Structure 1
Amino acid sequence: MTDAASTPNRVALVFGGSRGIGAAIAMRLAEDGFRVALTYVSRPDKAEDVAAAIGARGGKALAIRADSADAVEIAAAVDRTVDRFGPLDVAVVNAGVLRLGTVDAVSIEDLDLMLAVNIRGVFCAIQSAASRMRDGGRIVTIGSNTAVRTGTAGGSVYAMTKAAVAALVKGVALDLAPRGITVNNIQPGPTETDMTADMLSRLADMVPLKRVGRPDEIAALASYLAGRQSGYMTGSSLTIDGGYIL
């Protein structure tokens, strides 16, 4: 199999790439020369906007509807990407959901949703992507600094799911090391996204740098992990949160 590092026309798939961090990563990877597919579940307009913006800059992009709680749809998104662009070189697993509530108030429905998307969906995305990825490829998950420190009451279940991702990455890195595929996890702190839009001021006060992160800052780290120079880093969780968990 052709090594990803020597492939001129590289292919990236961003799960959850229509908004926020995922959209910024899709745009950055396109700037880096990747042909980019991105998935969405509820906002086709946003996904098509990202794809159109990439196209307007001379890149190639494909928006695919795929629910990250559905293993069949995840696998189908991988297949569509490969059918259109060729074997994967990079997979970024950004799709996630946040539901807040103290342990006595979290509903079973919200628990099941977070487990399905934030843990099961991440596993299925990695499994499906790895099966259609060139040797020497890159897998990047987007976790959260809450995997290290929950931070506030009401975030225990979300933190649990992100801690599971950090643990999964360590094991998968060993599984895929014989193929030269690296697997790393980015753990952002408070970042300007739809998920945090109604609490940015409060979050900024909790960060030592007194601001929240920008999606493009997270995308820059993803760009490094997706690139050729990161080949000796695998199984790592990298926290980028303005010093919040120091």
Structure 2
Amino acid sequence: MSTTSRTAFVTGGSGGIGSAVVERLVADGFAVAVHYAGNPARAEQLVADIREQGGRAIAVGGDVADEVAMAAAFDAIEAELGGVDVVVNTAGIMLLSPIATLDLDALDRMHRTNIRGTFVVSQLAANRLRAGGALINFSTSVTRTQFPTYGAYVASKAAVEAMTMVLARELHGKDITVNAVAPGPTATPLFLDGKDEQTIDNLAKAAPLERLGTPADIAETVAFLAGPARWVNGQVLFVNGGLA
């Protein structure tokens, strides 16, 4: 599929996986909207780098759980880049704790960003993606590996998988694919934060490939779903090096 004149909106686009997704889609010829929540500097620097290399990019801000802010983001993308063909929901937060001792404020924060945020952006995408488009949400491989302390986070991502599967079927006849990517342990600041070296080494060795994933590994799968994978729909792709 030609990506000439196609536009992608990447929520959390200035983050570890998000920025890798942005760069990979730019390499495929996409114009990109790089979303940020609270720190515009990283998004604006990424946009400046893309423009310097001859690409088309803008930065858009806002809380993904705020439907007014996200509608305004779609408006800005349509006005400046001509429309939206691909939406990638990488925005998310991960707060770890045993379920028995979890601070419920942490549960509410993850619910707002990971569930409501994904729902808000997915709802807008369902109404505003052009034909031939793709919505790519983000889950986690921990929905299957069931690591301790991930209970609340996994609950939020299981909800993402469920809404993704339903929306794929609700968009029957619109020529829009809806899928989710479920990374395994990936070397990003979100994943590495708070883990000691032994824990990280153990997680790296758990996969048959005996390494952590990289943001580029995840971005490659997103590029597949955003471009040639028109017969992949209503699926969760586990991108984890074979982690059981």
TM-score (norm 2): 0.93
For residue 194 of structure 1, what is the aligned residue in structure 2?
189
Alignment partners' CA distance in 1, 2:24 and 2:111:
29
For residue 172 of structure 1, what is the aligned residue in structure 2?
167
Alignment-mate amino acid for residue 17 of structure 1: G
Q: CA deviation at 1:201?
A: 3.2
Out of 136, 143, 149, the position equivalent to 1:140 is 136
Alignment partners' CA distance in 2, 1:84 and 1:201:
45
For residue 41 of structure 1, what is the aligned residue in structure 2?
37
For residue 46 of structure 2, what is the aligned residue in structure 1?
50
8 Å CA contact retained: 2:187, 2:214: yes
8 Å CA contact retained: 1:118, 1:162: yes
Alignment-mate amino acid for residue 156 of structure 1: G
Point out the more displaced range, 205-214 or 80-89: 205-214
Alignment-mate amino acid for residue 144 of structure 1: T
For residue 114 of structure 2, what is the aligned residue in structure 1?
118
For residue 100 of structure 1, what is the aligned residue in structure 2?
96
For residue 242 of structure 2, what is the aligned residue in structure 1?
243
For residue 158 of structure 2, what is the aligned residue in structure 1?
163
8 Å CA contact retained: 1:182, 1:235: yes
Q: CA deviation at 1:6?
A: 7.3
Q: CA deviation at 1:7?
A: 7.4
Indicate whether 1:23 and 2:19 are aligned: yes
For residue 217 of structure 2, what is the aligned residue in structure 1?
217
Q: CA deviation at 1:99?
A: 0.5
Q: CA deviation at 1:68?
A: 1.7
Alignment partners' CA distance in 2, 1:137 and 1:117:
24
Q: CA deviation at 1:132?
A: 1.7
Alignment-mate amino acid for residue 171 of structure 1: V
For residue 128 of structure 1, what is the aligned residue in structure 2?
124
RMSD over equivalenced CA pairs, Å? 1.5
Tell me the SS of whatever aligns to 2:42.
Answer: helix
Q: CA deviation at 1:191?
A: 0.6
Describe the superposition over 1:191-243 as per-residue Cα deviations: whole angstroms up to 9, x where unpaired: 1111122434343133332211010111011001000x211110000001122
Alignment partners' CA distance in 1, 2:65 and 2:121:
10
Alignment partners' CA distance in 1, 2:206 and 2:71:
39
Alignment partners' CA distance in 1, 2:97 and 2:43:
29
Alignment-mate amino acid for residue 86 of structure 1: G
Tell me the number of residue pairs that the alignment of Structure 1 and Structure 2 aligns.
Answer: 239
Gaps (5+ residues) in structure 2? none
8 Å CA contact retained: 1:209, 1:243: yes
Describe the superposition over 1:19-56 as per-residue Cα deviations: whole angstroms up to 9, x where unpaired: 21110001111111111001111222211121122112
Alignment-mate amino acid for residue 175 of structure 2: G
8 Å CA contact retained: 1:69, 1:113: no
Tell me the SS of whatever aligns to 1:58.
Answer: coil
Identity value in percent:
39
Alignment-mate amino acid for residue 243 of structure 2: Y
TM-score (norm 1): 0.92
Describe the superposition over 1:147-203 as per-residue Cα deviations: whole angstroms up to 9, x where unpaired: 22322x111010111111111111100111310100011100011111122434343
Alignment partners' CA distance in 1, 2:5 and 2:138:
24
Q: CA deviation at 1:79?
A: 1.4
Describe the superposition over 1:100-158 as per-residue Cα deviations: whole angstroms up to 9, x where unpaired: 1111221121111111111111011011122221112111112111122322x111010
Alignment-mate amino acid for residue 235 of structure 1: G
8 Å CA contact retained: 2:4, 2:30: no
